Amino acid sequence: MNEATIAEIECWLDIQGLSGTSETELMNGFCQRCIDAGIRLERANAFVDTLHPIYEGRVFLWRREGEVERAIIEYGSSREGESASNWQTSTFYSMLNAGEDEMRVNLAHKEDPGFRHLVTLKEEGCTDYLALINRFSSEGTIGEMDCFYSSWSTDEPRGFRDEDIIAIRRMVRGLGLAIKCASLTRIVQTLADVYLGRDAAKRVLAGRINRGSAERIEAVLWYSDLRGYTRISDTASPDAIIPMLNDYAEAIISSIQEAGGDVLKLMGDGILAIFTNGNSEEDCAAALKAQSLLRKRLIILNQARITDGAPATDVYLGLHIGEVFYGNIGSDTRLDFTVVGPAVNEVSRIASMCRSVDQDILISDSFAGALPTELRRRLVSVGRYALRGVGRAQELFTLDQSMIGTK
């Protein structure tokens, strides 16, 4: 491969990295350009670690014969299970432990290449293998995303030419930089979604980051907390509290998100969410769908926790609709993208009334009035109550028991 071709591919990588091209498109485009330039690639893999609550990293696969069924593999923790076994028997693990950045294995002339995945490559006709690690500086590292890993295989009978190795070694730096750019964008989106909620994340990443930048919206409000949480936290083992909160938060948050809501805040055992995807009727119906999903999940969760000898409880839920300010609240150096306003205070007061009237769910009169007629008929009044800190008494409703756990 001549100097002009290498420079052309490096320029293409620069442009794609700046353009935000995806990792799979980068891999496909880079490998095809290598083939067009005379490097007979058969297989190529690249991966980087990431910051994600479930996945540790992502692998990007390329095969000369065409599209791979799973061009992206998201892998879990490399510290346990099958992922740990695969990692600890890999060339990259060996290279890291030896402090090496490059490994080349002539598969054609080795009966036993020494690594399980290289045996598979040899059986599939590959003759030469090159693994590269491009390390990031500490300033360029986020979490465990400290390297760009790549491997390259050929089925050329004589293996890679020396000029092929030199070209790959040089060009892969640009590929790693472009993939790192794409991965960092994905990390920002993931972290924003996880810590802010999906809708707030979208608004913040669109540039809504100025203090006081807020809009007046009508929103369906959800506030829930756990029945008897104070008693449980006082009597249960401290080691059991976080797993319990996680179990119930998973049930609540997954129900809200499945129904189209956005979780804004987790405050101990309390969760504040909003529904703002449609008109008032649709958003109120979505909130009731979320509570229905939650009741089903709670049955399964509590059965499992009781079987395990862990404390089990229920969820108190308040539903309300009202006008709120939605945006950035805080100082110049620490902001929270959330909702504020009287309606937010009211929904928390409504949820706290559940204990007094012995109901799992309480619904405001404004929420009830916004429901479609067929859903409104399923509500039962529990009376008029003065909410603490709220000027006027209002009628509260609960669901007819026949609706609990149903659509």
Mean pLDDT of 11-29: 96
Q: Give residue-wise pLDDT tens across range 148-206.
A: 999 999 999 999 999 999 999 999 999 999 999 999 999 999 999 999 999 999 999 99
Question: 52: closest CA among 140, 134, 141, 144?
Answer: 144
Taking CA 89 as the corner, what is the angle to CA 87 and CA 92, rounded to the nearest 5 degrees? 65
Query: Residue 295 belongs to what H/E stretch?
Result: helix 280-307
pTM of the model: 0.83
Residue 192 carries which side chain, given as an amino acid letter?
A
User: pLDDT tens, 295-344?
Assistant: 999 999 999 999 999 999 999 999 999 999 999 999 989 999 999 999 99
pLDDT band at 67 (very low <50, low <70, confident <90, very high): low
Helix axes 3-19, 23-36, angle to 10 degrees: 170
Q: Which residue has the higher pLDDT, 110 or 133?
A: 133
**Cross-strand bridge partners of residue 364:** 396
270 versus 65: the higher-pLDDT residue is 270
- pLDDT value, residue 344: 95
* Tokens linked to 79: 């510290």
Residues 6+ positions from 259 with CB-CB distance below 8 Å:
275, 286, 287, 289, 290, 293
The H or E element that residue 30 is part of is helix 23-36
Closest Cα to residue 170, out of 8, 10, 31, 5? Answer: 10
Mean pLDDT, rounded, for 352-374 = 94
Q: Give the containing element (helix H, strand E) for 382.
A: strand 379-386
* Percent of the chain surpassing pLDDT 70: 97
Contact 155, 107 (CB under 8 A): no
For domain 3-195, the CATH architecture is: 2-Layer Sandwich (3.30)
- Which pLDDT belongs to residue 341? 94
Question: How far does Cα 134 stand from its chain's mean position?
Answer: 26
Top CATH class, 202-403: alpha beta
Give me the mean pLDDT over the 80-91 stretch: 82
What CA–CA distance (Å, rounded) separates 197 from 264?
6
283-292, pLDDT tens digit by residue? 999 999 999 9
Task: Pick the more confident residue, 370 or 69.
Answer: 370
* Residue range(s) in the chain whose domain bears CATH number 3.30.70.1230: 202-403
Closest CA to 34 of 167, 177, 134: 167
Query: Which has the higher per-residue pLDDT, 402 or 117?
Result: 117
What is the pLDDT, as a whole number, of residue 405?
Answer: 45
- The whole-number average pLDDT for the span 365-382 is 93
> Residue 151: is it exposed, middle or buried by C-beta count within 10 angstroms (0-12/13-18/19+)?
buried
Q: pLDDT tens digits for 200-239?
A: 999 999 988 888 888 999 999 999 999 999 999 998 888 9
The overall average pLDDT reported for the chain is 92
